Amino acid sequence: MIKSMTGFASGKGSLGPHGWTWELRAVNGKGLDMRLRVPDWLIGLEAALRAELSRMIGRGNVTLTLRITREDSATELTLNEPVMRAALAAVARAEELAAHQGVSLAPTKAGDLLSLKGMLEAGAEDDDPGPLVEALKAEFSKLLADFIAMRQAEGQALADVLSQQLDQIEALTARAAQLAEQRREAMSDSLRQNLARVLDNAQGADPDRVAQELALIAVKSDVTEEIDRLTAHVAAARDLLGQDGPVGRKLDFLMQEFNREANTLCSKSQNSELTAVGLELKAVIDQLREQVQNVE
């Protein structure tokens, strides 16, 4: 079963004073590009999440965002004593230098010191993140399962569209084969007439050489190989749609082969009806190629 590269899942949970929300989304990409926004203080979590995403997702631009909140309103503040001692020493030295210059400084207040950067630390930073990290790992499994399920559902709908387009290509290829067979006798008559006309108006021409040149023209206008390859490509594409795992790259390569055969068919057709079928083939193949860009 194929999967779409696009998908979305979200979730939320809590443990003790901490609450969290997840968002996991993906769009089309040539390879697997992961962007994780996870708080740095949750040690080891990002590496674990990245490994799990790599195991379950083959292609796509994937973005995972985790937001952590602390639900308790009262946060204990801790005095950074080394910073306070350094600040007091600096104040004492400043007062000493000012006194030597006969300058009187205003008294230093506690509030002035406490407002200095790094003087106070939130007690939440001292919490052990281990239990929260383990809870988040367990919660992420459910989030990822929902995400994969959405990709599979979209992939099934995408497979139906691709299958219908392959049916169109198969029908047009069969029509091209029918038209090529119908023009075969007309081309043979035309070549015989051209051969007779050349021989009648070209004194000294080698009949065998002229016949070889006309035969070469007939070979160059034969579209049997192109029709056979188009038929084989349809079968290969259907086989890929039935496989498990990422097949988007293989389908994308196959689209190039489809387009090449359709172009050659048009260039060799020498028949208005066959050219029209070739152009319609190119249009459907282009639509198919656009849809394939969504396959993982």
* pLDDT tens string 15-36: 988 999 999 999 999 899 999 9
Calpha distance 181→193 (Å, rounded): 19
**Of the candidates 56, 62, 78, the residue with the CA atom closest to the CA atom of residue 126:** 78
Note whether 7-73+135-152 and 155-292 share their fold: no
- Nearest-10 Cα torsion for 160, 163, 167, 169: 130
CA dihedral (229, 230, 235, 239) positive or negative: positive
**Of the candidates 175, 170, 165, the residue with the CA atom closest to the CA atom of residue 274:** 175
Q: Where are the domains of the chain?
A: 7-73+135-152, 81-118, 155-292
Q: Which residue has the higher pLDDT, 276 or 196?
A: 276
Nearby residues of 250 by Cβ (< 8 Å), 6 or more positions away: 240
- 107-136 pLDDT, tens per residue? 888 877 777 777 776 654 446 889 999 999
For residue 123, the model assigns a pLDDT of 53
For residue 125, the model assigns a pLDDT of 47
Residue pair 76/104 in contact (Cβ under 8 Å)? The answer is: no
CA dihedral (110, 116, 122, 123) positive or negative: negative
**Domain 155-292 classification at class level:** mainly alpha
For residue 126, the model assigns a pLDDT of 47
* 246 has a pLDDT exceeding 50: yes
How far is CA 69 from each of CA 16, 105, 132, 139, 201, rounded to the nearest angstrom?
Answer: 11, 43, 12, 16, 94
For residue 10, the model assigns a pLDDT of 96
Taking residues 266-287, report their average pLDDT. 91
78: confidence class by pLDDT, cuts 50, 70, 90: confident
- 134-170 pLDDT, tens per residue? 999 999 999 999 999 999 999 999 999 999 999 999 9
198: confidence class by pLDDT, cuts 50, 70, 90: low
* 197 has a pLDDT exceeding 60: yes
Q: Is 234 exposed, middle or buried (0-12, 13-18, 19+ CB in 10 A)?
A: middle
Calpha distance 141→156 (Å, rounded): 23
- Quick one: fold of 7-73+135-152? Ribosomal Protein S5; domain 2 (3.30.230)
